[in-house]
Structures are given as structure tokens and as C-alpha cells.
Amino acid sequence: MRARSAMTTAALTALVLTLPVTTASAAPAPTPAPGATPGTASTGTGGATAPAGFVSLGIRRLLDTRSYRENPAGAARKLQPGENFAVPLSAWKSHPPREIPTVPADATAVVVNVTATNPTEDGYLTVRRNVDRPGAPATSTLNFKAGETVSNTVTVAVDPRGAGTSPQISVYNNAGTTDVVVDVLGYYAPSTSTRTADRYDTVRPVRITDTRTEGGRLRWGSVVTAGVARDSLGTYEATSVLLNVTAVDPSTEGFLVAYPSGSDLPIEGSHLNYGPGRTVANQVVVPVGPDGNINLFNTGSTDLVIDVIGYYGPWAHDLYSAVTEQTRLLDTRYDGGQPAFSTRRLPVTGTAGVPENATSVTMNMTVTEPQADGHLEVYPADQGGRPGTSNLNFNAGRTVANGVTTDQGGVQHAVDVYHHSAGPSQLIADLTGYFVEG
């Protein structure tokens, strides 16, 4: 598997990792928050950030522990077991050593793509706000097996550090040692006279690309162009779009990079890493090109599926509040699990501080202990049934997580989770924030 490192458009280079043979079982997901009643939500104590608009950054590298040039520690080193690593939201330059803020001091939350690579043991990472919070987190962001490269996009409240410094987030590693890569996709902040923060609108999820039925399988160097700002999608005013991107049945290692049409391929950063035989999805936010299109650059061999979830634009309606302490909403390991081909209703409003006027929610969904391959569909409880798209794909025996953004329905104030699999699984849902009309 490859975790994308610095490269030029002419010569795309990436660190090649040798995958050891492993028979370890799926990495365990963390247990519910201390004191939580099994099968119910664990109530966070930190509240939520003030509603704010979104500023897209494309994709920018914040951390690569493999490189002393992109590591605030000043040296290439892995995260240790039980380590909570501070990540200033800045770029790092080594000559002379200096921090260049990427996210402004008034940012309330960031959208980051986090990648674990070269892990020595099965384990998980948690991206959270406060580096000084003691003990292991009650939630997780991504799970990995020894030797794998796994990525996930998450929205997380930031920890301000005072005037003249960049805010920060933290990454916790629970087991073994692992390298970590963090790419920032954008941030939430109030609008100012010099920076326009866009609002968000959800759309009914719709599939716009499926190479299994049109276009053919992607090879190394393939570029797929997708029309994402269109009247037919309700996204004609989009400046950035929110997508669920899935690499289906890859036969090699590889990664995908999304970027606006009319722009150069980003120098570094990746949105989705995949490996042979492992169908994997990731949530992606990407700026839209002037012609309403985006490009996706591929390495390796895979089919590709793209689902549109929502968009940001100047005439959209909703502002975002990140919960300052991520909160567990669901853990089926304590109520019998999720049966094959079944739907679970998950109440949202009034749970973990989500207000009555919340329009959409963001969650980190995890499937663990799946007995068969499958996928999840997450959608509003009262808006016409399943959309026929997917949010998370999993293989038997693997623990997999993905970020989910969904309307919570105007009447039920709940979301439905459809478990499309021939065997039972365990489902975990952690609240990361919510949108309100502003």
C-alpha cells in the first residue's frame, strides 16, 4: 500500500510499503465512554462550537511523521502506543525551522484526512480536539491492521492556542507504533471582510460515476472527470462538493486524489488509499472547477464509484457546529448486533446535545466483527426510503470506519442505517457535529 508523499506532477512518487502476511483478527474498536449505559448514547461534556461557515483549502499536508520536514517534532518518528500527539494546523519549513499557519486563529473546526501507515500492530487512531485530555479516548476515527495503510476523513473541533499561533488538534494511537499523515481539506470559521465562509446544503445522495457500468476500470495515471455542479443535482451554485468516493475491488495498491478541474494535480496529499481485494470508501470534500467539474487522479487498478452527498456555496443555508467532545450514539455490541439485511433507526435530535433546529449531522460510522462482506446506507428517516447509494463498505472480519454526513429528517429527527450484508455485524456511531440553518 502507498501513503502519498511529496511529489511533482511530472514524477508521481510515493513510499512503497511491504505488506507482511498476518493472521491477526480485526482491530478492536474502543469501548463505550466510561459510565455509559450499554447500547445508549454517552453524553459529551464539552458542548459544541458556535455555528460557522466553511472555507475550502483543496488539500494541504499538515503532518507526515515519516519526514522531519513535515513533522512538528522536528524528526521522522512514529507515534508510540498510548501517545497523544499534538498537530498544529500549520505547514512546517526546515530552513530555517518555522511554523506557517494554514488554519486561522478564529477557526472553530477542521476537516482533515488522516492516514495510518506502517503500523506494527492492529489498532486504532482517534482524532480529537484536546491534546492534554488524559487517558484513552472513548471513540475512534479509524481502525487498522498491522502493515496496512488506512485513511478516513473526519471533522473535529480545534483547540485554540492564543494570539499569534495556529490552533491545533491531536491524534491518539492506541497500540503498536504507526506513522501518521494528516491532510487538511478545509476549516469552519466566521465570515470576515477578507474571507468568505460558505454555507452547506444537503442533497438526496445520488450516484454520478460508476466505472463498473460506464467508462471501464481505472489504471495507473487514469483521470476521471465528474460533473458535480449541475441543475439536475441541485448543486448548480456549489463552490465545493461533499462526496462519498469508493474504490471497488482493487487488484493492486493505489490511491485517489480529487481536485478541481482546470487546476494542476496537488503536489502532495491523497483522499483515499486502497489495497488488493479491499473495497473501501472515504468521504471527500473538494473545490469545484469553473466548469462545474472535478477530477480524480488514480494510481493502481480499481473500479470507482462517486456519490454526491451535499455542497457548499454562497447561497446555501446551513452553518456547522462541531462537538468539542465526540460522543458515542450507538454501539450494537451491547444489544445483540445488527442482523443481515436490516435497518436500524437512530434518533438524533435531543441526543448528545443535538438541538431541535439541527438539519444534518456528521458522524463517524464503524463496522466491526462483520461476518460477511457488505455496505451501509445512512439516510434521513422520513424522506422516501433508501437512496441506493453507499456510505461505508466492509469485508468479512475487518473493522472499517468512514465519516458520514446526512440530513436527519424533518419529522422523525432521526437517521436510518441500512445494513446490506448476508451476515450480522456490529455497528458503532460517534457524533462529531451538526448543521443548523443560519
Confidence of residue 46 (pLDDT cuts 50, 70, 90): low
Once rounded to an integer, what is the mean pLDDT over residues 30-59?
Answer: 62
DSSP structure class, residue 40: S
Whether 376 and 390 have beta carbons less than 8 Å apart is answered as yes
Task: Assess whether pLDDT exceeds 60 at residue 302.
Answer: yes
Q: What share of residues in the chain are helix, strand, coil (percent, to 5)?
A: 0, 50, 50
Residue 257 CB-density burial (10 A; 0-12 exposed, 13-18 middle, 19+ buried): buried
Name the β-bridge partners of 373. Answer: none
Task: Assess whether pLDDT exceeds 50 at residue 33.
Answer: no
Rg (CA), the chain: 20
β pairing state of 272-274 and 342-347 = unpaired
Q: What is the pLDDT of residues 58-112, one digit of tens each?
A: 999 999 999 988 888 778 999 999 999 999 898 766 555 566 778 988 899 999 9
CA-closest candidate to residue 302, choices 228, 241, 240, 251? 251
Least confident of 18-27, 216-225, 227-236, 302-311: 18-27
Confidence of residue 421 (pLDDT cuts 50, 70, 90): very high
Mean pLDDT, the chain, rounded, equals 86
Q: What is the pLDDT of residues 400-420, one digit of tens each?
A: 999 999 998 767 789 999 999
Q: Which three cell numbers stand for residue 282?
A: 472515504
Least confident of 22-31, 84-93, 426-435: 22-31
Q: What is the pLDDT of residues 171-206, one digit of tens each?
A: 999 999 999 999 999 999 987 655 678 999 999 999
Once rounded to an integer, what is the mean pLDDT over residues 345-372?
Answer: 92
Task: Assess whether pLDDT exceeds 70 at residue 41.
Answer: no
Whether 352 and 329 have beta carbons less than 8 Å apart is answered as yes
Output the pLDDT for position 21.
Answer: 27
CA 429/CA 140 separation, integer angstroms: 10
Q: Is residue 432 classed as helix, strand or coil in its secondary structure? A: strand
Q: What angle do CA 24, 25, 26 make, to 5 degrees?
A: 125
Strand ranges in 158-233 using DSSP code E only, listed in sequence order? 168-173, 179-189, 199-210, 223-227
> Among 22-26, 121-125, 202-206, which range has the highest average pLDDT?
121-125
Least confident of 11-15, 68-72, 364-368: 11-15
Name the residue with higher pLDDT: 359 or 412: 359
Confidence of residue 10 (pLDDT cuts 50, 70, 90): very low
**How would you label 191-202 residue by residue, b for 16+ Cβ within 10 Å and e otherwise?**
eeeeeebbbbbb
CA-closest candidate to residue 240, choices 177, 162, 187? 187
Whether 251 and 23 have beta carbons less than 8 Å apart is answered as no
Q: What is the pLDDT of residues 236-295, one digit of tens each?
A: 899 999 999 999 999 999 999 999 999 999 988 999 999 999 999 999 999 999 999 999
CA 31/CA 25 separation, integer angstroms: 17
Task: Assess whether pLDDT exceeds 50 at residue 312.
Answer: yes
Whether 81 and 177 have beta carbons less than 8 Å apart is answered as yes
Per-residue CA distances from 43 to 37, 156, 217, 403, 428 (Å): 10, 17, 45, 20, 15
Mention every residue, 6+ apart, whose C-beta is less than 8 A from residue 375: 281, 390, 391, 392, 393, 394, 420, 421
Output the pLDDT for position 37.
Answer: 32
Q: Give the amino acid at 55.
A: V
Termini Cα distance of the chain? 42
Instruction: List the strands of the sheet with 374-380, edge to edge.
Output: 342-347, 414-421, 374-380, 392-394
The phi, psi pair for 400, rounded to 5°, reads -135, 140
Task: Assess whether pLDDT exceeds 50 at residue 23.
Answer: no
Whether 431 and 323 have beta carbons less than 8 Å apart is answered as yes
Provide DSSP, 346-414. EE-TTSTT--TTEEEEEEEEEEES-SS-EEEEEEETTSSS--S--SEEE-TT--EEEEEEEE--SSS-E
Output the pLDDT for position 216.
Answer: 92
Q: What is the pLDDT of residues 209-251, one digit of tens each?
A: 999 999 899 999 999 999 999 888 888 899 999 999 999 999 9
CA 277/CA 288 separation, integer angstroms: 31
Q: Which three cell numbers stand for residue 240?
A: 465545493
Q: Which three cell numbers stand for residue 143?
A: 481502525
Percent of the chain clearing pLDDT 70 (strictly above): 86
